[in-house]
Amino acid sequence: MNEGQNLYPAEAERRSALRSRIRPLGADTPDELFLPFLDLCFNWSMDKPRVEVDELVERDDAAFYFKDWGRNGDIAVAAYASDPNTGDAAENDSVAGSEPEIVGLAWLRLAEFDAVMDRSTAAPRGHRE
């Protein structure tokens, strides 16, 4: 632990607010939640043609990262927007019918060795022998 970590109440309060805004996602997280963030992952370059979300859902290389979420080894955390009135994302949960907006997502899926090897030796799309 950092010696000065608890010396400043404002800093402790700020850290507490951040902790309430970054929370793990459960195994029951719907696949659709990943799509806006998967879109960002696949379409980060301005120099390449855009891949539409409808196509991403159908592509094996994209589906590998999110389809059937909740398998053994799937881990995800979401960053929630803070409530402008309270500054705390957790407060939004108490409002009936209101869920805080997810503004960031980090996830990983542990892959089986065979699946990775099959993917690495497969011919690229459009490649003809």
CA 36 – CA 57 distance, rounded (Å): 11
Provide the pLDDT for residue 92: 46
Provide the pLDDT for residue 29: 94
Give the rounded distance of the alpha carbon of 6 from its chain centre.
Answer: 30
Which token pair is 71? Answer: 């398998």
Provide the pLDDT for residue 19: 74
Provide the pLDDT for residue 4: 56
Which residues of the chain carry a pLDDT beneath 70?
Answer: 1-7, 83-98, 115-116, 119-120, 122-129
With contact defined as beta carbons under 8 Å apart, do 102 and 79 qualify?
yes
At CA 78, angle to CA 115 and CA 36, rounded to 5?
Answer: 70
- Domain ranges in the chain are 18-121
pTM (2 d.p.): 0.65
Provide the pLDDT for residue 30: 94
CA 21 – CA 79 distance, rounded (Å): 6
Give the residues across from 79 on adjacent strands: 22, 104
